[in-house]
Amino acid sequence: MSRRIHILGAAGSGVTTLGRALSEALNVQLLDTDDFYWKQTPVPYSEKTTVPERLIAMRQACEGRDWIISGSLMGWGEELVEDADLLLFVYTPAALRMKRLKEREIARYGDRIREGGDMYLTHECFMGWASRYDNPRFDGRSRKNHLRWIKKMGLPVAHLDGRMSVSQLTRHALTVLQHRSAFEQLDARTPILQL
């Protein structure tokens, strides 16, 4: 049985962390969309790759193999998602997400994101963008748009609570995978697990 899983959610929701844990538990490669979406530049996350570049690189990495893709493919990677067996949507309340993001950014970049640092503006823009995820009027990557996109993709989806520990999230995801065949008879637009 193949294992092709797409894990998505807001920045700071725990998507990449869950991806790493599942990758280790299942011995399946993890591909994080940020590694394909952004060019390697001195100021990280400042220059995007083109959509064709991303898709070619991701297709090559996925070809003939099981995979877990963490991050958002909404609006550019639908053809990759069509090959998925399961979507895992991780929702984490805004206050917790923003706290995680702030801690993560400080740990990664330190003084570079403080006022006067070479990444200050990039960081401020990123945090402002991330804070709008739960705003239903925000037209970018938002909870509303993710849920609409998930429904449009028509694949089995498990909704997971990002407040849970990594081990709890991993156990829930593994349970869904283990019993996936029982869910294949359901309408794919119906969540198979709601937490």
Q: Hey, is 61 helix, strand or coil?
A: helix
CA distances from 150 to 31, 126, 187, 191 (A): 19, 24, 13, 10
Judged on CB neighbours under 10 Å (0-12, 13-18, 19+), 75 is exposed
> Phi and psi at residue 115, in whole multiples of 5°?
-50, 130
pLDDT at 185: 47
Match 């349970």 to its residue by tokens: 175
Dihedral of CA 114/118/119/122: which sign? positive
Nearest in space to 22 (alpha carbons), one of 2, 44, 7: 7
**Tens-place pLDDT, residues 47-78:** 999 999 999 999 999 999 999 999 999 999 99
Containing structural domain, residue 129: 4-194
Structure tokens at 1: 């049985």
Q: How far apart are CA 3 and CA 85, in angstroms?
A: 7
Domain count, the chain: 1
Q: How many CB atoms lie within 10 A of CB 95?
A: 8
**Tens-place pLDDT, residues 4-34:** 999 999 999 999 999 999 999 999 999 999 9
Span 169-186, mean pLDDT?
Answer: 77
Say what the pTM is. 0.90
Buried b (16+ CB within 10 A) or exposed e, 40-68: eeeeeeeeebeeeebbeebeeebeeebbb
CATH number at residue 128: 3.40.50.300
